[in-house]
Chain A
């Protein structure tokens, strides 16, 4: 199956500018996630969509970050205005329900290649 696609792969902007990232999940995956990964840290969930509805955006800085998934497929994440501390890799992931060898269902997340954002 084709993987999660993200664009652009790299973006350099100056602080106070705005930027948008795009994600195309694996076909048929209802759940989509955006993570922020700051250098030296693990990914941190920003927002989770189930189809086109938000499930969890508790760690999204809503004064500057926004995300949408209007048709329940592609998603965009926007930062406006950007700050220096927003420099990070932004990962998109999607998931579906799978059945393990023990017959139990589990949810496996598949990650995209990420967008590396540098804010100068």
Chain B
């Protein structure tokens, strides 16, 4: 069965420190993976897709098929990065399967 696991429910780092939010998946096909973010009092929104290989707001994520991981990284955390982060896998044409989410808190 397709599954997305985010092992950390809570993650707290200091401003300026590196951040890594972990995501592991299980999927029999070719995975398409995403990171979604929800800032306080805002809607869930797409942060980045593995296919695009972009850096969004300083965040990057590399798909590692050998380790079945798609960890989200940022070298220097900023206070505005505090939010809920969800890793998601696309199954089939459009269906998304989400992980349980990680609440990231950046301390000043």
Contacts and interface: CB of A to CB of B under 8 A. Distances in A.
A7 to B, nearest CB: 15
Given A31-B94, A41-B100, A101-B54, A106 B44 contact: no
A61 interface: no
Contact of B95 (A4, A41, A56, A101): A56
B34 to A, nearest CB: 9
Size band of the interface chain A makes with B: 20 to 34
Contact of A44 (B45, B52, B98): B98
B52 A95 contact: no
What is the size category of the interface that chain B forms with chain A?
A: 20 to 34
A27 B94 CA distance: 19
A107 B32 CA distance: 11
A48 B94 contact: yes
B41 to A, nearest CB: 9
A113 B98 contact: no
B49 A106 contact: yes
A26 B15 CA distance: 36
A42 B51 CA distance: 22
Contacts of A102: 51-53
Interface of B: 4, 9, 43-46, 49, 51-54, 86, 88, 92-101
20 contacts: A42-B4, A42-B86, A42-B88, A43-B86, A45-B97, A48-B94, A55-B94, A95-B94, A100-B52, A101-B54, A102-B51, A102-B52, A108-B46, A109-B46, A110-B43, A111-B44, A111-B45, A112-B43, A113-B43, A114-B43
Given A43-B98, A111-B43, A112-B43, 7 more contacts: A42-B98, A43-B96, A45-B96, A55-B93, A91-B44, A110-B43, A110-B45
Interface of A: 3-4, 31, 40-45, 48, 55-56, 91, 95, 100-102, 104, 106-114
